[in-house]
Structures are given as structure tokens and as C-alpha cells.
Amino acid sequence: MITFTNEDCMNGMARYPDKYFDLAITDPPYGIGEDGKKNHSRSALAKSKEYIPKQWDRAIPNDDYFQELFRVSKNQIIWGGNYFNLRPTPCVIVWDKVNGETDFADCELAWTSFQSAVRQFTFMWHGMLQGNMANKENRIHPTQKPVALYKWLLTNYANPGDKILDTHVGSASSLIACHDLGFDAVGFELDADYYRMAKQRLDDFIRQPRLDSLTTIVQEQTDMFGRPDYGKP
């Protein structure tokens, strides 16, 4: 089940007991002004989308946020960890965005609570160019991350049955990945505009027929009537 609400994550987390979530995967503000104003003018290889300028990326979360995040979750993956005052960790996750000649960062870093080695995920995310152009994602948020990235994180750092938390949902990529992989998740988004767009994106995805469901239907038809007829003699 996916629970997604339009509210301050501090109010949302306060409703949950200690260590309720098995894993928090969060992407809080880095405090570097990547909130839509300058995104469209920074790419030489592919046109970048224009977003409504907002003010949410002007400062990093305070210590109260991190204390509450650590209270309600057993493990954490925090994007932008290099901007925050967090204890050293051996397990930094590196997302290589294959950006090419731009002034966007080549990579993004995530701090984690895990004790394993540094790991890297490579997936192009450059304006209109994406690592999976056959299933290209509609970008609705200036700091949107691909669903494929969250699926990789869940596959490698979560266990079946884990409860997942995202305190800054943004575009809902994390919740889409959780739904697709069968994880229960709770997400919060403070901005009403982004909540509306993210909720629509999530709802649209949930309504789509799942590939495994279609495969099951074909298999059932095969069992009932023999090999499916694909028009071949």
C-alpha cells in the first residue's frame, strides 16, 4: 500500500513510533538553489525543461529533521549527503548521470547507514536524454530522479516486506518504484503544486496494466487453449 500526503514531513513523521520504517530513502533540499529558476539554460546537448521557480532549495533541513528521520527509520539512504553534517559512512552511493558537457554535476552522492562498500549506479539523466528512452519518463520536478534509480536502491538495500519512507517525494519516482516492486511506502510532499502533479503521476502509473499481470493472462490462455495463436501457420 502506498500512502502519500500533502504535508510537512515533520508533522507526518511525528505520527509514527520509533523505528517503524525499515528504510528511509530521501532527497531533501541541498540548499543550492536547484528549485527551477536556472534549470532550462544549463544544457548544451539536450534542451532542459523549464520549471516554475520556487524557493524550497534555499537551505538544508535543520538537525530536528535528521533526528526525527533517524528516530522513525532503521536504515537511511539520503541523497545530497555530501551537503549535510552526517557522520562518516563507508557506504556512499554514487549515481553517474552521464551528463556530458554541461554545468550540471556529473554525479550525485547519497549518504547511507549501511556498512558495505561504495557502490555506483550509472543511468543517463540529461535534459531530454534518459538511460531508458524506450520508457522515457515525463519530468515534472527540477530535481526529479529516475524510477530506475529507486528500483536499484530497493533491490539492493531493502528486503521483501520492508516499510519504506520518503520525506520529500517531489515527483513520486520513489513511490512508483515501491508500488512496482511491491513495497509498502509512506511519502510526504509539502509543496501543493508538486504534490498534485506527483499524485497524478503515481495514480496514472497504478492504473496501468502491469506487465506481470499481462503475462499471467497470456499464460492462463495458453493453459486453457494451448499455444497462443500469433498469426503464424
Q: Check if the beta carbon of residue 10 is closer than 8 Å to that of residue 64.
A: yes
Nearest to 25 by CA among 199, 193, 163: 163
Question: pLDDT tens, 13-59?
Answer: 999 999 999 999 999 988 766 665 555 444 444 455 556 766 665 67
| Region label for 194, one of left (φ > 0), alpha (ψ between -120 and 50) or beta (otherwise) | alpha
* Domains detected in the chain: 2-225 (3.40.50.150)
The reported pTM is 0.81
| Cell triple for 83 | 551537503
Q: Check if the beta carbon of residue 144 is closer than 8 Å to that of residue 48.
A: no
pLDDT of res. 56 = 62
Output the DSSP codes for 4-29.
EESS-HHHHHTTS-TT-EEEEEE---
Distance (Å, rounded) from C-alpha 97 to C-alpha 77?
A: 18
Question: pLDDT tens, 73-131?
Answer: 999 999 998 889 999 999 999 999 998 766 678 899 999 999 999 999 999 877 678 88
Furthest CA-CA distance within the chain: 69
pLDDT of res. 64 = 96
